[in-house]
A = this chain, B = another copy of it.
Amino acid sequence: MHCVRVWTRSLCRVEYLGPWRRSLSHTAAGKLDLSGVYPPIATPFTAKEDVDYQKLEENLLKYAKIPFKGLVVQGSNGEYPYLTEEERVEVVNAVRRSLPLGKLLMAGSGCESTKATLQLTEKMAAVGVDAVLVVNPCFYKGKMDSRALIHHFTEVADSSPVPVVLYSVPANTGLELPMDAVVELCQHPNILGLKDSGGDITRIGLIVHKTEAQDFQVLAGSAGFLMAAYCVGAVGGVCALANVLGQELCELERLCKSGRWEEARVLQQRLIEPNASVTRKLGVPALKQAMEWFGYHGGACRSPLQPLTEAETLQLRRDFSTNGWL
């Protein structure tokens, strides 16, 4: 057990015991500082579709040289819905062991039921994650209204030994975490922020606005709108493309944070098409293919995700090359 939880009234404070954790920065309000860029790392598989820990480690060694704030394990790009619960925890554990000092580790622990989410969150905390990223349940879409989601996330945050980051990814879940639920949940002392992959910049600006009293931290969930999100008040991004062009995304962050907007814009614009290609357009198989081109281990996806067709591979390459990356 890496941490103890101390509840003082409605306030949840998490005291980290491990020495490597002390190096993580905190916000003015004393919360874990999430600001920065994270790759939501891909999960390499062997030809037999088993997790390839060797290749995973080799990727991590390369990522260690990039000024990421930390890593996200089992965001959508990690194919977490295709991993067993045991695999989910074991992969996070493996990443934990390789993680350099001072890097933040966030892991996805969202499941459909509240009960399963509580249990997986406990397990993730036990292997040493700094925060959990909890996607909203979505199967019973029609009933996942604010009432249900506030109840769900409150239960999870109440019992989680580590801070919780909300996660809204409508392209996969078919459901956007409602604004009023976010505004309500931002008041929970154990909920730190939101990863928003929907990309509605008006909504992101409004969330920043309506949660600013709570020191709530918003992360852009995709590289396509990272600059615009910084512009309206986000503090960082969890971007699939960071698996491929991590250095460049950190550079974009640096330009935005230092107010060099003109240079930022030029860089941002060159990243939109490659990003769209490895996410919305061609998905995880494209992300993994592009990783191969840029010196990482991507490899195949678990079925039912299929390898790219030849035409798709050409399109992917074109989206990188016409923007000067290949």
A233 interface neighbour in B151, B199, B265, B305, Cβ under 8 Å:
B265
Distance in angstroms from A61 CB to nearest chain B CB is 28
Distance in angstroms from A264 CB to nearest chain B CB is 8
Contact indicator B49/A115 (Cβ below 8 Å):
yes
At the interface, yes or no: A321 with Cβ under 8 Å from chain B? no
Interface string of A61-89 (1 = CB under 8 A from B): 00000000000000010000110100000
At the interface, yes or no: A184 with Cβ under 8 Å from chain B? no
Provide the residues of chain B in CB contact with A143, threshold 8 Å.
Answer: 282-285, 305-306
Distance in angstroms from A80 CB to nearest chain B CB is 9
At the interface, yes or no: A140 with Cβ under 8 Å from chain B? yes
Task: Please tell me how many copies of the chain the complex holds.
Answer: 4
Chain A residues with a Cβ closer than 8 Å to the other chain, count = 63
Provide the residues of chain B in CB contact with A227, threshold 8 Å.
Answer: 205, 231-232
Within 8 A of B (CB), among A106-150: 112-116, 137, 139-144, 147-149
Provide the residues of chain B in CB contact with A82, threshold 8 Å.
Answer: 112-113, 115-116
Provide the residues of chain B in CB contact with A142, threshold 8 Å.
Answer: 171, 280-281, 283
Contact indicator B202/A283 (Cβ below 8 Å):
no
At the interface, yes or no: A32 with Cβ under 8 Å from chain B? no
Provide the residues of chain B in CB contact with A147, threshold 8 Å.
Answer: 306
At the interface, yes or no: A16 with Cβ under 8 Å from chain B? no
A303 interface neighbour in B81, B151, B231, B281, Cβ under 8 Å:
B151
Contact indicator A302/B202 (Cβ below 8 Å):
no
Distance in angstroms from A43 CB to nearest chain B CB is 12
**A-B residue pairs, 9 tightest by C-beta:** A174-B174, A209-B269, A202-B224, A152-B304, A82-B113, A114-B303, A81-B112, A201-B201, A231-B231
